[in-house]
Amino acid sequence: MSDANPSSPADSSCLTDGQTLWVDGRALEVRISARRSRLGLTVERDGALILRVPPTCPPERAEAFVRSGSRWIDDKLRLREERQPLHPTRKLSDGEIHRYLGRDYRLLYVDEPGAPVRLVAGRLRMDQATAADPVRGRRALADWYTRSGLRWTRGRLQPWAARMDVDEPRIEVRDVGRRWGTHRPGRIALHWATFQLPFHLIDYVIAHELAHVRVSGHGPDYWRLLRRAMPECARWKTELDEMGRRVWMGDVAER
Ligand SMILES: [Zn+2]
C-alpha cells in the first residue's frame, strides 16, 4: 500500500477517505464514516468494491476484514457476472430468426411497400425497401411488436384484473427503457420487446404491473396479492430474470 503520505508518518497508520486499498490483488475504495464503529463491504452494481471504515482504522484491521470476507466477495462477483445482460444485436437480414410470443419466426424479404412488417403463414415478412435501411427496418419491426403486442394484451388484461379485483387500467406498449413494464395511476405500459417472451412470462409482466394498481412498491403486501392471483409468480420472476437477459432490445448490427 503506497497511498499513505510518506511525509507525515502519523497518517500512514490509518486509512484515508477515498484511497485505494489493495488486498490480495483486489482494489477496494475506502470510505471513512464518522458514525461507524465496524467495517462494512459492498459490491456495487458496476462491480466496484467499497470498504466503509470508522475513522482511525489501521490498514491491518481492514486487510484482515477483507480476507475474512473473501468467499463472500467471490460469490457476489460471480452472481453479478451471471446476471449481466446479454442482449443480442440483430442484422435484420433475410432468413434471420426473430421471436414472437416465445416462438421462432424467420424474416422473409418481400416487395410489399404498403406493409413494412407482417406475420403471415409462419413468416415475418419485411418489405425489402424497409429492410435495406437498418434504422427503418428496426423501427418497422419495433412498431410491429408494439401493434401486435397491444392487440394480444387486450385479451389478457381483463382476466388478470378480475382475479386481483382491480380496475382495468389503460394499456400502452412502447419502449420503456430497461424495464419490462411500468405503472402509474390508471395506466400500464409494457415494453414492446416483452412480446418476444413466452406467454406465461408476458402474463407475469402484466400481472406484476396490475398488482401495482392496488399496492405500490414490492413489500410483503404486494407479493401476497400477486401470489394469490399467480401462485407461480416467484418461479416466473426467476425465469424472466434469466431469459430476459437474452431478449433483443432493438440493437441492430452493421451488415
Ligand atoms: Zn414492480
CA 55 – ligand 1 centroid, Å? 39
CA distance 178 to 149: 18
From the CA of 87, how far away is ligand 1's center (Å)? 21
- d(CA 22, ligand 1 centre) in Å: 39
pLDDT recorded at residue 12: 61
Q: Tell the CATH topology of 97-244.
A: Zincin-like (3.30.2010)
What pLDDT shows up at residue 26? 93
CATH code 3.30.2010.10 region(s) in the chain: 97-244
Give 35-83 pLDDT, tens digit per residue: 999 999 999 878 899 999 999 999 999 999 999 999 999 999 998 888 8
Distance 138 CA to ligand 1 centre (A): 28
Q: How far does residue 201's CA lie from ligand 1's centre (Å)?
A: 14
| Per-residue pLDDT tens over the stretch 12-46 | 689 999 999 999 999 999 999 999 999 999 998 78
What distance in angstroms lies between residue 212's CA and the mean position of ligand 1's atoms? Answer: 7
C-alpha of residue 75 to centroid of ligand 1, in Å? 26
Q: Which helix (H) or strand (E) holds 50?
A: strand 49-53
Q: If residue 160 lies in a helix (H) or strand (E), which one and from where to where?
A: helix 134-164
Distance 88 CA to ligand 1 centre (A): 25
Distance in Å, CA 223 to ligand 1 centroid: 10
- Cα 243 versus chain centre, distance: 10
Spacing, Cα 235 to ligand 1 middle (Å): 15
Confidence of residue 6 (pLDDT cuts 50, 70, 90): very low
Q: How many A from CA of 208 to the centre of ligand 1? A: 6
Indicate if the pLDDT at residue 10 is higher than 90.
Answer: no
Q: How far is the CA of 32 from the centre of ligand 1 (A)?
A: 34
